[in-house]
Amino acid sequence: MLLDDSRFPLVFLRGHEEPDSSIDEQLERNTQLESLLDRQMPFVLIADHSAHDHDDETPEERKAKALFFKRIKDRMRKYCLGLIVIEGRSPVNAAARIAAAGASKALGFSVQFVADEESAAAKGAVLLEKHAA
């Protein structure tokens, strides 16, 4: 997965072609996310990757990810205004939606689901406008 902040404050989490994620890639993504938080500016995350991208994670990788998010939780609550998931042609299943709701409560921001990138950008703009008001 790649972190694309070229349209900041809309920040895209994009899938990529390589099926296996290395620990180095995970560390790079964490560094990118921390750099994003270091800007101390509000942003919206837009996930544009398969819900199954995390299916092959080991228990150690899941634990490391959980510890990382625990460490940045306060800054995520402060600067991340929401997560918008692009469903594309295959809607996210009920279990993933429930997990997203739990994550949104833990991290302190809403999770919304949309059909395409255009809708995601529009919802992101609304979140940013509400925050600015």
pLDDT tens, position by position, 34-77 = 999 999 999 999 998 655 555 567 888 888 888 988 899 899 99
At residue 132, the 3 state secondary structure works out as helix
Q: Position 84: which residue type?
A: I
Tell me which residue of 128, 13, 18, 21 sits closest to 79, measured CA to CA.
128
DSSP secondary structure of 20-77 = PPPHHHHHHHHHHHHHHHHT---EEEEEES-GGGGTT--HHHHHHHHHHHHHHHHHHH
At residue 130, the 3 state secondary structure works out as helix
Whole-angstrom distance, CA of residue 65 vs CA of residue 119: 28
Q: How many domains does the chain have?
A: 1
Which pLDDT does position 102 carry in this prediction?
81
Sort strands 110-114 and 80-86 into parallel, antiparallel or unpaired.
Answer: parallel
Q: Position 99: which residue type?
A: A
Which pLDDT does position 133 carry in this prediction?
83
Q: Which residue has the higher pLDDT, 46 or 2?
A: 46
Which pLDDT does position 91 carry in this prediction?
79
Domain encompassing residue 85: 2-132
Whole-angstrom distance, CA of residue 29 vs CA of residue 74: 18
Which pLDDT does position 56 carry in this prediction?
67
Whole-angstrom distance, CA of residue 109 vs CA of residue 38: 18
Whole-angstrom distance, CA of residue 100 vs CA of residue 128: 20
pLDDT tens profile 7-17? 999 999 887 55
pLDDT tens profile 65-119? 889 888 998 999 999 999 999 988 777 788 878 888 887 787 788 899 999 999 9
- Rounded average pLDDT over 1-6: 86
What's the pTM? 0.82
